[in-house]
Amino acid sequence: MAVLVLKVDIDTFRGMKEGVPRILEVLDKRSLPASFFVSFGPDRSGLAVLQLLRPRFMMKMFRTDAVSMYGLKTALYGTILPAPVIGAGFPDMVRSLNDLGHEVACHAWDHRVWQDWLFLMGQKSIHSWFEKMIDSYKSITGRKPAGFGAPGWRMDRRALKTAGEYGFDYLSCTRAREPFIFEENDLVEIPSNLPCIEEAGVNGVVKALESRAQSLVPQVLPVHTEVEGGFYCKSFEQILDKAQSSGYIVKRLVDVAFSIDKSSLLKRTLKQGLIPGRAFKCSM
């Protein structure tokens, strides 16, 4: 029987406020645990408009109908509407995830800036981005985070080096096929290796789950609270029912990280690659 992890990313204010309660309801109905990767800082989704200068992004906007998926308000945050704060603005909600037995991990300070402009950020900005995220995590939960998953699966060597300075127990920053150890910082990487709804559609996700139901490699499904906790909530239920009927055992990412035999893992450097349904290259 294969292991399945639900890696639930909280990327936006709406995803926090409206998406998280709906996801929790769906999980609670099935008594399933999940790993919530929280963006703590400002929701500057509106900055995505700058991405219109990049043709691949425009193609993706049209293909996925991003405005109807994320909502017009979200599409304007950080531009003509002020940027609301995500995780740091909902401390009780973040703590309640923990109290319910889910994992709370670090996803971002400013998600949009990292996802779109990491390559333009200097070492100092990368460092202060991590500082703000981790301070926020600690002040809300009272402990240090075990895991970090990079926004948009964007990482580079400098970011890996910085992540290595914060004592994380594991990373989940890539779309590789199976876990490995980063040569850059000696940390174990447990990748999101299943496609998400935005990339493969609901049927594509279900098919991937079916085909890997006997896999010995832990399967990590990327979930986004504004998507599966919004328009695609029913589809998310369908996906979870499929996973359960296929015999998957659902675990939190931190538990997989602590139980994995690190001596059996390949050690290698970060790679980049395009995966189907994504506008930009992801870390691999």
Binding part of the chain for Zn ion, among 9-17, 81-89, 182-190, 192-200 by CB under 5 A, reads 9-17
C-beta of residue 206 within 8 angstroms of C-beta of residue 181:
no
| Binding flag, residue 9, Zn ion (CB under 5 A) | yes
Where are the extended beta strands (E) located within the chain? 3-10, 35-39, 103-108, 147-148, 170-171, 180-182, 188-189, 219-224, 249-251, 267-268, 272-273, 282-283
C-beta of residue 197 within 8 angstroms of C-beta of residue 228:
yes
- What DSSP string describes 173-230? ----SS-EEETTT--EE----SPPHHHHHHHHHHHHHHHTTT-SSPEEEEEEHHIIII
| Binding flag, residue 110, Zn ion (CB under 5 A) | no
Give the C-alpha separation, 36 to 268, whole Å: 27
Residues 151 to 170 in contact with Zn ion, rule: CB under 5 A: 151
Shortest CB 11 distance to Zn ion, Å: 4
| Binding flag, residue 11, Zn ion (CB under 5 A) | yes
Binding characters for Zn ion, 113-152, by CB under 5 A (x = yes): --------------------------------------x-
Shortest CB 41 distance to Zn ion, Å: 12
Task: Give the binding-site size for Zn ion (rule: CB under 5 A).
Answer: 3
Between 213 and 222, CB nearer to Zn ion: 222
Between 241 and 278, CB nearer to Zn ion: 278
| Binding flag, residue 198, Zn ion (CB under 5 A) | no
Residues that bind Zn ion (CB under 5 A): 9, 11, 151
